[in-house]
Structure 1
Amino acid sequence: MEILEVLIIGAGPIGLNCALEAEKNQLNYLIIEKGTIVNSLYHYPLYMRFFSTADKLEIAGTPFITSSPKPGRQDALEYYQGIARQRELKINLYERVLNISKNEIFEVETSKGKYLAKNIIIATGFYDIPNLLNIPGENLPKVKHYYTEPYPYAKQKIVVVGASNSAVDAALETYRKGAEVTMIIKGSEISKSVKYWVKPDIENRIAEGSIKAYFNAEMVEIKNNSVIFKDELGKIHEIENDFVLAMTGYLPDFEFLKNSGIQLKDENLRPIYNPETMETNIENLYLAGVVCGGKDTHLWFIENSRIHAEMIMKDILNKN
């Protein structure tokens, strides 16, 4: 069986960048991806726009050309998948990694086979596991942890849980397509991280009463035709409801990290790694991208984690 120099788990922007850096340094590599190329971006809301400008999303020195000041989901899909096609990157798609074990080298078991590798890079992001509310009724079909577009919610009574970018986008878009929108927000205000050109819009819609918002509030239960929540005074409310959009964020696959032998620390379950090389407590097992932040998924993003690929390859080459 062929022994790979580098096996990369995840074909997101950072995983692709790691592959390009491995290719540049003439290291034999393979990417294994459970979905399509940049799978998380594919599942983003259809009309999502990035906070970053196009140049901050570029990888491997390849220009990201777009007519918009802020590129959208489709722009990003064209860019990253275009690079994968043009550079003929070695990617196995729709193949899930099941287990990583190590003796002298790594043995990786997937849904389609087994691989041997000297070095592994985990670049799996965080978009696959919703941060659950853990309340009765959350498993009802009316509850959605992913939002794609507003049209299914026209003339419906919608509860949006959360106050970050995804929650604000869902609230505004569904409201403008005729939904009756109520926001249940755990904190005292709309998140400061909300895109600066969107934040005044949601705050004005709340102020004028077009979108109802309960701050310092907490969901208690979801029923077939209603939801129950507690306001900041502790008073219990029950309102009619057709759909719940629980935009409460997402988490890395901590079980996969732990099963791979990676140690996690503090209440945010941040994985242990060397910040100069990105190597974990397991020798030759590296992390790249958002997965490095544990529960704090706002620490790392495309713009500031592109450098991880170069750091990792430098360490691998130094060891060789």
Structure 2
Amino acid sequence: MEMLDILIIGAGPIGLNCALEAQKNNLSHVIIEKGTIVNSLYNYPLYMRFFSTAEKLEIDEVPFISTAPKPGRQEALEYYQGIARQKKLNINLYEKVLNVSKNNEIFEIETTKATYHAKNVVIATGFYDIPNLMNIPGENLPKVKHYYTEPYPYAKQKIVVVGSSNSAVDAALETYRKGAEVTMIVRHSEISKSVKYWVKPDIENRIAEGNIKAHFNAEMVEIKSNTVVFKDEKGAIHEIDNDFVLAMTGYLPDFDFLRNSGIELNGDCLNPFYNLETMETNVSNLYLAGVVCGGKDTHLWFIENSRVHANMIIKTILSRS
């Protein structure tokens, strides 16, 4: 039975960084990834640009060269996948982890393809795979999209965009500029303050001039084949014609997977338990890294402030060797 020093779940930027630290310290490791390398970034909108500058997205001190002040999705894919190739990281792709269990201080990790054994496990799975559902009638209709990639399919269509964060604002602006009739349904009283500062005035001006309609303090009630129903701030019910709904309501970590792995989840945000100095969970030698640490608060961690997790984890593992 092969025994790994570390098994890493997730080949996102932070998972890659954990593998790089393991490799530098001669620790045997493998990354198990259910999709491609940096799978979440691959599924981002095609023309997405990061809030962070390139140097804040770097890992392992490898320079991230960008032709723009804010790098885009394709540049990030080239950068992270290029590092994986150059460093010859041990990654198994299109293999999903089904279960993590522990027996006599050894982890057994069952996947769709094999069973692995490891002394330590790092969960770096992010949060982009499970949409935060509205739980309303009609949400399962084919016209409802929880992921947005590009504006071209929505030309000359009546679009409802649900939400007011970066993803919602990008979808609203891009589809509007390709000829869609856009209506935004926003639960709050204004566009989110977290929207990229160079984009926020654009959406606010388009709303002010009436080219994009926006209903604030509003809530979706039902989605029908050709219409949507929503409630305004006074509680009045409205029904408008509609071809597509872009439900940009955010995403969540796989809480069931975390629970089944033995990790404690606390509070309304289901914050997973971990040691702030070591990233170790309540299960000894089981660690969290990256945005998965935030529970429902998915804006707490991102690439630039969670890159340090890899060093913290490997340092802890080495101190116990």
TM-score normalised over the length of structure 2: 0.99
Gaps in structure 1 of 5+ consecutive residues: none
1:62 shift after superposition: 0.2
What are the residue-to-residue correspondences of 1:225-304 with 2, within 5 Å?
A: 225-304=226-305
Measure, in 2, the Cα distance between the counterparts of 1:263 and 1:206: 43
1:304 match: secondary structure: helix
Measure, in 2, the Cα distance between the counterparts of 1:162 and 1:278: 32
1:194 match: secondary structure: coil
Residues paired across the two proteins, number: 320
In the alignment, structure 1 residue 211 sits paired with structure 2 residue 208: no
Give aligned-pair identity as a percent: 81
In the alignment, structure 1 residue 45 sits paired with structure 2 residue 45: yes
1:229 match: secondary structure: strand
1:186 shift after superposition: 0.1
What are the residue-to-residue correspondences of 1:1-320 with 2, within 5 Å?
A: 1-104=1-104, 105-320=106-321
Tell me the alpha carbon deviations over residues 100-157 of structure 1, each in whole angstroms, 9 at most, x when there is no partner.
1101200000000100000000000000000000000000000000000000000000
Measure, in 2, the Cα distance between the counterparts of 1:107 and 1:256: 14
1:257 match: secondary structure: helix
Tell me the alpha carbon deviations over residues 157-207 of structure 1, each in whole angstroms, 9 at most, x when there is no partner.
000000000000000000000000000000000000000000000000000
RMSD: 0.3
1:65 shift after superposition: 0.5
Q: Which amino acid aligns with 2:205?
A: N
1:75 match: secondary structure: helix
1:45 match: secondary structure: coil
Measure, in 2, the Cα distance between the counterparts of 1:237 and 1:35: 41
Measure, in 1, the Cα distance between the counterparts of 2:101 and 2:291: 23
1:213 shift after superposition: 0.1
TM-score normalised over the length of structure 1: 1.00
Measure, in 2, the Cα distance between the counterparts of 1:2 and 1:192: 50
1:66 shift after superposition: 1.0
